[in-house]
Structure 1
Amino acid sequence: MKFQRQRREEININLTPLIDVVFLLLIFFMISTTFTREAHLTISLPEASAEGEAQQQTGSIDVVVGAEGQYTINGESLVSSDALTLRRALLKLAGEARDVPFIITADAQAAHQSVVTVMDVAGKLGFSKLSITTQKTSAD
């Protein structure tokens, strides 16, 4: 007697539900993600040239960053080198005027964080005419 063999079904995995779940997760994460909006500070960088001397503008705010990170505003040293003291001194000096030229001069050995702190405080206070001084190299 000859028995007929049963045909074996081929085993496969249906990927359609898996793809649906992945798309739902993707949509969920896209909707629930929060994006931070960062404030940007526009900087006007000066160009060093061989012609002429640097002109000192009247009514400007000149912040000098020393080698150890100490701040001097228009020739007056600050008691502390933190951002709050710098902010208070700038508010006292500038008052409501935010369109005055804001000049940053930093020592070559000054920490980058000290210069960034000055730029950050100036940006948060709303100063728009920010410039960084350069020194002409002796090779020119």
Structure 2
Amino acid sequence: MKLNRIKRRSGNSLILELTPLIDVVFLLLIFFLVATTFEDVNSSIKIDLPTSTVKSTKPVNELQVIVTKDKEFFISYKDKGKSKREKVSAKDLKEELAQKLIESEGKNVIISADKSVNHGIIVDTMTAAKEAGAISLDIDTASPGK
């Protein structure tokens, strides 16, 4: 087995084999692509979810309505496989939800509201979702200890 990869030819010219170096670079590139964690589109919105011991399963094609403690509304959805989020006003929530429900394949809405949000606002959000055409409503909760 040859340990010396630098070969001398006649004169002062050196031939350096780059194939192993290129292999290592590609392996490192693949490693970093696989090891990268991708940021969730909703991670910038800070809400403190109420806790529950009951596990709920999220439907595949769902819309998510996020209500912050400052009573700001966001609609989170998937568009061509990419997660997107839009800020909407309380008065436009029903119309925006109706439009997104028509565009999406599913009719499921998940409501993620901060635990300090008044019950009335959550009920109004649920009513807007039902009137917009949602078939299934779910209230998002956090697992205990999170």
The correspondence of residues 120-131 of structure 1 with structure 2, limited to 5 A, is 120-131=127-138
Give 1 or 2 for the bigger CA radius of gyration: 1
Amino acid at match of 1:125: A
Count of residue pairs the alignment pairs up:
88
Structure 1 residues 69 and 137: CA distance shift in structure 2, 3 A: same
Counterpart AA for 1:71: F
Listed one character per residue, the Cα deviations across residues 2-48 of structure 1 (whole Å, up to 9, x for unaligned) are xxxxxxxxxxxxxxxxxxxxxxxxxxxxxxxxxxxxxxxxxxxx862
Identify the residue that residue 42 of structure 1 maps to in structure 2: none
- Deviation digits for residues 113-132 of structure 1, max 9, x if unmatched? 22111111112223221111
Change (3 A) 1:90 1:79: closer
Aligned residues with identical type, % of pairs: 23
Superposed, 1:1-140 pairs within 5 Å as: 48-49=54-55, 56-74=58-76, 76-80=85-89, 82=90, 84-95=91-102, 100-138=107-145
> Quick check: 1:78–1:86 contact (8 Å CA) kept in 2?
no
CA contact (8 A) 1:68 1:111 kept: no
Structure 2: 5+ residue stretches without partners: 1-51, 77-83
Describe the superposition over 1:95-118 as per-residue Cα deviations: whole angstroms up to 9, x where unpaired.
176952211111011122221111
Write 1 or 2 for the structure with the bigger share of strand: 2
Name stretches of at least 5 consecutive residues in structure 1 with no aligned partner: 1-45
